[in-house]
Structure 1
Amino acid sequence: MTEVAACRRRAARRSRHGLLPTLLLAAAALAASDEAGELLMRMNMAVEGLNYEGTLLHMAGGEPMLMRIVHRVDGDEVSERITALDGPGREILRNNDEVTCILPDERSVLVEPRDIGDRSQSPLQGSLPRSDSLDPALYRLRVEGRSSAAGKAARILTIEPRDLYRYGYRLWLDEATGMPLKAQLRGQDGGVVEQIMFTEIEIRDRIPPEAVKASLDTSGYRFERAIESSPPEQDNATPGWRADRLPPGFRRIAARARLAPGAKLPTEQFVYSDGLATVSVFVDMGPPANGEREGLSRMGATNAYTAIVGDYLVTAVGEVPPRTVEMMATGMRRAE
Structure 2
Amino acid sequence: MTAAVVLRWLLWPVLAATGSAALAQGCPETDPEAVALLEALAGRAGAVSYEGVLTLQRGNSLRMMALRHRVDGDLVSEDLTLLTGQEAQVVRGDHPLDCDSPGQQLLRAAALAQGECGLAGHYRISTGPGERVAGRRAVRLLLQPRDMYRYGYVFELDRESAVLLKGTVLGAGGRPLEQFQFASVNIGGDAPAASERPTAAVVHRTAHAHPAAPQAGPETGLGWTPGWLPAGFVPTDETAAQSVRRSYTDGMATFSVFVERLGEPLRPGEGVVREGSTVSYTRGLTLGPDPVLITVLGEIPVNTARMVADAVQRVR
- TM-score calculated relative to the size of structure 1: 0.67
Query: Matched residues in 1 for 2:141 and 2:133: separation?
Result: 13
Query: Matched residues in 2 for 1:300 and 1:335: separation?
Result: 34
The code of the aligned residue for 1:141 comes to I
Aligned partners of 2:254 and 2:299 also within 8 Å? yes
2:125 aligned counterpart, secondary structure: strand
Shift in Å at residue 287 of structure 1? 5.7
Shift in Å at residue 162 of structure 1? 1.3
Answering whether residue 133 of structure 2 is matched by residue 149 of structure 1, we say: yes
Match in the other structure for 1:316: 296
- 1:330 is matched with which residue: 299, 310, 315? 310
Match in the other structure for 2:17: none
Answering whether residue 292 of structure 2 is matched by residue 294 of structure 1, we say: no
Query: Matched residues in 1 for 2:135 and 2:300: separation?
Result: 31
Answering whether residue 48 of structure 2 is matched by residue 56 of structure 1, we say: no
Deviation readout 1:241-280 (Å, 9 max, x if unpaired):
21112223333342437xxxxxxxx962212222322211
Query: Matched residues in 1 for 2:82 and 2:149: separation?
Result: 32
Change (3 A) 1:118 1:308: farther
Change (3 A) 1:294 1:30: closer
Q: CA RMSD in A?
A: 3.6
Change (3 A) 1:139 1:196: same
Shift in Å at residue 312 of structure 1? 2.3
In structure 2, the gaps of 5 or more residues are 1-23, 109-116, 217-221
Tell me which of the two structures has the higher relative contact order, counting C-alpha pairs closer than 8 angstroms and 6 or more residues apart: 2
Shift in Å at residue 117 of structure 1? 4.2
Aligned partners of 2:92 and 2:206 also within 8 Å? no
- 1:240 is matched with which residue: 223, 235, 243? 223
Match in the other structure for 2:253: 277
Fraction of identical pairs, as percent? 32
Change (3 A) 1:192 1:43: farther
Deviation readout 1:72-129 (Å, 9 max, x if unpaired):
11122211110000002211111146xxxxxxxxxxxxxxxxx97499xxxxxxxxxx
Shift in Å at residue 224 of structure 1? 11
Shift in Å at residue 307 of structure 1? 2.3
Match in the other structure for 2:233: 250
Aligned partners of 1:32 and 1:143 also within 8 Å? no
The code of the aligned residue for 1:136 comes to A
The code of the aligned residue for 2:73 comes to G
Aligned partners of 2:214 and 2:237 also within 8 Å? no
1:216 aligned counterpart, secondary structure: coil
1:207 aligned counterpart, secondary structure: coil
Shift in Å at residue 62 of structure 1? 1.6
Match in the other structure for 1:103: none
Change (3 A) 1:287 1:168: farther
Query: Matched residues in 2 for 1:287 and 1:225: separation?
Result: 33
Greater Rg over alpha carbons, structure: 1
The code of the aligned residue for 1:67 comes to M
Give the 4+ runs in structure 1 shifted more than 6 A: 29-32, 223-226
Query: Matched residues in 2 for 1:224 and 1:180: separation?
Result: 23
Shift in Å at residue 156 of structure 1? 1.1
Change (3 A) 1:272 1:31: closer
Aligned partners of 2:256 and 2:298 also within 8 Å? yes
Query: Matched residues in 2 for 1:207 and 1:79: separation?
Result: 10
Question: Which runs of structure 2 are paired with 1:1-336 in the superposition (5 Å)?
Answer: 33-96=31-94, 117=101, 132=108, 134-210=118-194, 213=197, 215-216=199-200, 231-232=214-215, 240-256=223-239, 268-286=244-262, 294-310=270-286, 311-336=291-316
Aligned partners of 1:297 and 1:304 also within 8 Å? yes
Shift in Å at residue 154 of structure 1? 1.0
Q: How many residues are treated as equivalent by the alignment?
A: 262
Query: Matched residues in 1 for 2:137 and 2:261: separation?
Result: 51
Aligned partners of 2:281 and 2:302 also within 8 Å? yes
